[in-house]
A and B are shown apart, each in its own frame.
Chain A
């Protein structure tokens, strides 16, 4: 069993009941609309199979861009909802991209192998957090909803239930613009 999972297990074992009570609490569904949309910084990153992805290739699609790491509990909690969202919407007009922070592909591969549903959206590797810095990410998880013109329109700090109807409605609005 990879070391991280041992650590995660240890973490949950050490948490007091308050944490146990907090853990099942439902994730929120609020995304914050940016008063002034900002251009999403471009990037080129690789996935687990060493395949390159350029963000510019996604112009014309709405993108949910998620910054995460395996050691981050809310990142893990929200990931299944990202997969459900990814499955729910037409991939010709909408994409989910998860950008892992400073972990190895082997490590993330081991993590995703233990999920009930393997993520089918791209997981890219920001090995030095330079892309997170470009997006001014302060903590994990942080998620941006980016419109077809490549403008950041919504932001979420902390875990969310991304397949909640309220979030889906926002995404569909952006798709229809």
Chain B
């Protein structure tokens, strides 16, 4: 569970319940950038029921689109991935991600700084493109595209898209804390109650 608490002086504090460690609550107040109350919209495809979340925040627009496992399988099968690797990534919770710099300054991000919090309340890092590529190279694959790049320095008008992978089962819900920098200043935003796509369309 992740709690965002706004103090009267405007400083947010982030309390992380670390159940696994048996710790009650660790609060960061003065040193962590505030988690912003972002403008997040959710859209549902009336035909498929699949969801997409869009966060419009200071200098950034990020859209996360549920992807069905069969779609992920089709993409990687089309690039001649071995079946084991196709099933490996299809077993993850995969989102199509569209990331845009909406500011008039440089916007930077690093996927390694992003965290997801599943139903167990434990904060976890996101597997990066580089980590997937290392795994794929060991399996003899040299394909290196489709995933959201590990990092980016986006100038005015730059944007990018790619897959974001979360190691959670189908239909899981989780929160996602993302961070980015605008001209060197760190910003943090949070998606709450994101849901992994189901195994298939009903």
Residues of A within 8 A of B (CB): 3-4, 7, 10-11, 13-19, 21-22, 28-32, 69, 71-74, 101-102, 128-129, 138-140, 155-160
Instruction: State the majority secondary structure of interface residues on A.
Output: mixed
Instruction: Count how many pairs of residues, one from A and one from B, have CB atoms less than 8 Å apart in the complex.
Output: 109
The answer to whether B68 touches A18, judged by C-beta atoms less than 8 angstroms apart, is no
Q: Write the B69-97 contact mask toward A (1 if CB under 8 angstroms, else 0).
A: 00100110011000000000000000010
Nearest Cβ in chain B — how far from A102, in angstroms? 6
Residue from A18, A71, A72, A128 in contact with B63 in the complex, judged by beta carbons closer than 8 Å? A18
The answer to whether A157 touches B160, judged by C-beta atoms less than 8 angstroms apart, is yes
- Interface-lining segment among B23-31, B147-155, B183-191: B147-155
Q: List the 7 closest pairs (A to B, CB-CB), nearest first.
A: A30-B157, A158-B159, A18-B43, A32-B155, A16-B45, A138-B149, A28-B157
Residue from A3, A28, A139, A158 in contact with B148 in the complex, judged by beta carbons closer than 8 Å? A139
Residues of B within 8 A of A (CB): 41, 43-48, 50-52, 54, 63, 65-68, 71, 74-75, 78-79, 96, 98, 100, 142-146, 148-152, 154-162
Task: State the CA gap A69–B146 with chains docked (Å).
Answer: 10
Known: A29-B157, A157-B159, A158-B100. A14 touches B67 (CB 8 A): yes
Chain A hits for B98, CB < 8 A: 22
- In the complex, given contacts A30-B156, A139-B149, what are 4 additional A-B residue pairs having Cβ atoms less than 8 angstroms apart? A13-B47, A19-B96, A139-B152, A156-B157
Chain B hits for A140, CB < 8 A: 145
Residue from B54, B78, B148, B161 in contact with A74 in the complex, judged by beta carbons closer than 8 Å? B161
Task: State the CA gap A140–B129 with chains docked (Å).
Answer: 14
Task: State the CA gap A18–B74 with chains docked (Å).
Answer: 23
The answer to whether B146 touches A15, judged by C-beta atoms less than 8 angstroms apart, is no
Nearest Cβ in chain B — how far from A137, in angstroms? 9
Task: State the CA gap A155–B48 with chains docked (Å).
Answer: 37
Chain B hits for A11, CB < 8 A: 71
The answer to whether A71 touches B146, judged by C-beta atoms less than 8 angstroms apart, is yes
Nearest Cβ in chain B — how far from A61, in angstroms? 25
Residue from B41, B52, B144, B154 in contact with A15 in the complex, judged by beta carbons closer than 8 Å? B52
Chain A hits for B45, CB < 8 A: 14-17
Known: A32-B155, A139-B160, A157-B154. A16 touches B50 (CB 8 A): yes
The answer to whether A155 touches B155, judged by C-beta atoms less than 8 angstroms apart, is yes
Task: State the CA gap A76–B149 with chains docked (Å).
Answer: 19
Please, which residue of chain A has its CB at the minimum distance from the CB of B162?
Answer: A139
Task: State the CA gap A102–B75 with chains docked (Å).
Answer: 14
Task: State the CA gap A138–B147 with chains docked (Å).
Answer: 10
Please, which residue of chain A has its CB at the minimum distance from the CB of B153?
Answer: A157
The answer to whether A73 touches B161, judged by C-beta atoms less than 8 angstroms apart, is yes
The answer to whether A18 touches B41, judged by C-beta atoms less than 8 angstroms apart, is yes
Nearest Cβ in chain A — how far from B157, in angstroms? 3
Task: State the CA gap A71–B77 with chains docked (Å).
Answer: 13
Task: State the CA gap A11–B43 with chains docked (Å).
Answer: 16
Chain B hits for A74, CB < 8 A: 159, 161
Known: A18-B63, A22-B63. A3 touches B161 (CB 8 A): no
Please, which residue of chain A has its CB at the minimum distance from the CB of B42?
Answer: A18
Task: State the CA gap A159–B98 with chains docked (Å).
Answer: 12
Chain B hits for A14, CB < 8 A: 45, 48, 50, 67-68, 71
Residue from A18, A21, A69 in contact with B145 in the complex, judged by beta carbons closer than 8 Å? A69
Task: State the CA gap A17–B66 with chains docked (Å).
Answer: 12
